[in-house]
Structure 1
Amino acid sequence: MLWGKKILRITAAVAVAALAAHTAESQKGRGTTQSLVLTATERFAADRAAPTGIGADAVPPSASLGAPAQTPLGTLIGITPVAASAPAIAGDKCRPAMQLQAAPGAMILLSLSAPCNRSERIVLRHSGMAFATRTDAGGSARMLIPALKSDALVAVYLAESRLVLGKVTVPDAVSYARLAVTWEWPAEVELRATEGNRVLVATTASSAGEPPRMMSFGSPDVQSPVMAHVYSVPGRDLGDVSLLAELRITPASCGRTLRLGTVYAANGLTTTQERDVAVPLCGTAGDILLLKNLSPAPKLATPK
């Protein structure tokens, strides 16, 4: 009987020792895994802090495309994560693609395919001109935009801090003079051109025939609208046209300082300017401020 109890005690001690050894080994394994995760995280943070080859040289922090990139981008379009953002969602099927083609009238035909950005807001920039629009239900967008330079660099900003860049050559861009006016909500601006007895207002450019002299870009119904109007004429300058921007005073804009951007393109060169416009205090809603001398520097006139 005593011998049997001793055997049981010895067996129990061995079992406890084995269990303790197994637990220690398990804890050791988990500790190693956690260390590897921390090392990978620290390495990823270090990689993000280190500058990459495409970074600020190709896309300045302001996302302005007024200055050419130091490294030619070629005619193929690629996608570059901004600030080392996460890889493409769900693999390559979400990778956007953009095609740029020179069109008659010194225009650029842009075709965008973004399968994972359906019915979403996008922002397009070219040589200082910018506007916001929306992809269709299939994630596509197709539009004509005026070339402000012969070597036209175009950028499309998508959700998830993603950017699509492209470059196309438009030889006849030097044969046109253009003025683009860009603004953001809550500004409401209407660009008008007076040519003799004719007053032109902005319309949407179409692929049928010569583009209109006054073109409108942007969708006012997207979140944080960005709009642009462009006046365009063949020749080395704008001629004798009288250009006037009407800024409507609304409850959303009164008493605020709004930013208005202009891009003047002629003879293959562009001049980009940004001006702050102080809108009168609330109580004058419905009035209009006239912005004259838009080529190249707008000045504030008295309310209309």
Structure 2
Amino acid sequence: MIIIRKIALATAVVSTAVAVGFLMQRDADRSAPLQSATPVEETVLSLDTGGDGADLDLQDIILTSASDPGPLAGKGRAVAAPTVAPRMTHPSAERSDTAPAPIEAPDVSRADCPVTMEAVTRPGAMVRLDLHAPCQPLDRVTFHHEGMTFTEVLDANGAIRVDVPALQVDAVFIAALPNGEGAITAAEVPALKFLDRAVLQWSGIGGFEMHALEYGADFNTDGHIWSGHTASPGAAERGRGGFLTLLGDDALLTSNLAQVYTYPSATARAAGEVDLSIEVEVTRTNCTDVLKATSLQTSPTGKIVKQAMQVPMPGCDAVGDFLVLNNPANDLKLASN
């Protein structure tokens, strides 16, 4: 059963006006980074569950229940620390009363293990990154691209392959490892000119979720794109619908995570709108906290609009409820082609 609650809402907007609605519902069936040159528009959302603010009437809100590759674009440039020469005791050294200095093993982790990354363009304006750091197996790696940041884990061979939605036609990607090493690569992605993209990203245990309702679709239908129904770039290439990309390893406690929604706005086969919203689940780990997230949105001019958000969470008696932020990103208005 879904329970509707009214909550007092105070919203402070700096530099931009954003329509934000909060919906709390319960449903037993529902399962530092590189800085962008784009100015950040700060939107602070303040939630007051016991003050004198006016109640937000949620009766009119629809309740939801959860329920051909391109050429190689560029080679990565290895970033490696200088080799440390080994110090060894020569066998013919004169004996003394003191014990000989221990033999130190050569440091091969720098000279023989360069960190490299390559990029290949893929359908849907995606870029496939292949990172190799053979002397750092199972280590964390953080990827950076146009203000978007996400953290993954290398496999037992110190390698990882990840498909990333490009946010610029001339796309540059950076991989950073905890020891200071890293790699950089680039790719040209002309197909991005036919797409719109919206990014939601956060760090740590946030419980954020992006939802896209295409052409007035209801929740849990084919037109509802979210982590439970991501769709694929193939539909976007045919102009039939969008898709969602999930980035980052959510098994890490301090991971950077991102969700990227893509829609082929320039090749859409029908006119209409895509309604975007962000949902936050209240959990034992985030109740009473102030959660932070960032949204990025591409535009036809190539500029990336960036917006920072702070979401104060309700008390732990609301665990299992959801907050829905309406229109934290611009809805997509589509013309038929």
Q: Give the TM-score taking structure 1 as reference length.
A: 0.67
State the match for 1:78 in structure 2: 77
Could you tell me how far 1:263 is from its partner in structure 2?
A: 0.8
Does residue 160 of structure 1 match 2:179?
A: yes
Q: In proportion to residue count, which structure has more helix?
A: 1
CA distance in structure 1 between the aligned counterparts of 2:287 and 2:243, rounded to whole angstroms: 31
Could you tell me how far 1:201 is from its partner in structure 2?
A: 1.4
CA distance in structure 2 between the aligned counterparts of 1:154 and 1:253, rounded to whole angstroms: 31
CA distance in structure 2 between the aligned counterparts of 1:93 and 1:230, rounded to whole angstroms: 36
Q: Which has the higher contact order (CA 8 A, sep 6+)?
A: 2
Q: Is contact 1:93–1:115 with CA below 8 Å preserved after alignment?
A: no
Q: Is contact 2:232–2:243 with CA below 8 Å preserved after alignment?
A: no
State the match for 2:35 in structure 1: 64
Does residue 273 of structure 1 match 2:307?
A: yes
Taking structure 1 as reference, are residues 207 and 113 closer, same or farther at Cα in structure 2, changes over 3 Å only?
farther
Does residue 98 of structure 1 match 2:117?
A: yes
Q: CA RMSD in A?
A: 2.8
State the match for 2:95 in structure 1: none
State the match for 1:200 in structure 2: 225
The residue matched to 1:178 in structure 2 has which SS?
Answer: strand
State the match for 2:247 in structure 1: 217
Q: Is contact 1:191–1:229 with CA below 8 Å preserved after alignment?
A: yes
Could you tell me how far 1:207 is from its partner in structure 2?
A: 8.4
CA distance in structure 1 between the aligned counterparts of 2:311 and 2:160, rounded to whole angstroms: 32
CA distance in structure 2 between the aligned counterparts of 1:210 and 1:254, rounded to whole angstroms: 37
Deviations 1:217-258 (CA, angstroms, capped at 9, x unpaired): 111112412211111011259961111111111121111111
Could you tell me how far 1:294 is from its partner in structure 2?
A: 2.5
State the match for 1:42 in structure 2: none
CA distance in structure 1 between the aligned counterparts of 2:231 and 2:120, rounded to whole angstroms: 15
The residue matched to 1:254 in structure 2 has which SS?
Answer: coil
Give the percent of matched residue pairs that are identical in Structure 1 and Structure 2: 27
CA distance in structure 1 between the aligned counterparts of 2:136 and 2:258, rounded to whole angstroms: 23
Matched to 2:201, the amino acid is T
For 1:251, which of 270, 284, 295 is the aligned residue?
284
5 Å-filtered alignment, 1:2-151, equals 62-66=33-37, 75-80=74-79, 87=82, 90=108, 91-151=110-170
Could you tell me how far 1:139 is from its partner in structure 2?
A: 0.8
Matched to 2:328, the amino acid is L
Matched to 1:259, the amino acid is K
Report the number of matched residues.
227
Does residue 226 of structure 1 match 2:256?
A: yes
CA distance in structure 1 between the aligned counterparts of 2:264 and 2:307, rounded to whole angstroms: 22
Could you tell me how far 1:283 is from its partner in structure 2?
A: 2.3
The residue matched to 2:273 in structure 1 has which SS?
Answer: coil
Does residue 263 of structure 1 match 2:262?
A: no
Structure 1 unaligned segments of length 5 or more: list them: 1-60, 68-73, 298-304
The residue matched to 2:257 in structure 1 has which SS?
Answer: strand
Deviations 1:16-45 (CA, angstroms, capped at 9, x unpaired): xxxxxxxxxxxxxxxxxxxxxxxxxxxxxx
Matched to 1:225, the amino acid is S
Q: Is contact 2:75–2:185 with CA below 8 Å preserved after alignment?
A: yes
Q: Is contact 1:174–1:266 with CA below 8 Å preserved after alignment?
A: no
Structure 2 unaligned segments of length 5 or more: list them: 1-31, 39-72, 84-106, 218-222, 332-337
CA distance in structure 2 between the aligned counterparts of 1:121 and 1:291, rounded to whole angstroms: 31
Deviations 1:106-155 (CA, angstroms, capped at 9, x unpaired): 11011111101212221112112221111111111112111111011111
CA distance in structure 2 between the aligned counterparts of 1:185 and 1:77, rounded to whole angstroms: 29
State the match for 2:4 in structure 1: none
Taking structure 1 as reference, are residues 283 and 230 closer, same or farther at Cα in structure 2, changes over 3 Å only?
same
Deviations 1:237-282 (CA, angstroms, capped at 9, x unpaired): 9961111111111121111111111110122221122111111233
CA distance in structure 2 between the aligned counterparts of 1:253 and 1:225, rounded to whole angstroms: 15
Taking structure 1 as reference, are residues 260 and 296 closer, same or farther at Cα in structure 2, changes over 3 Å only?
farther
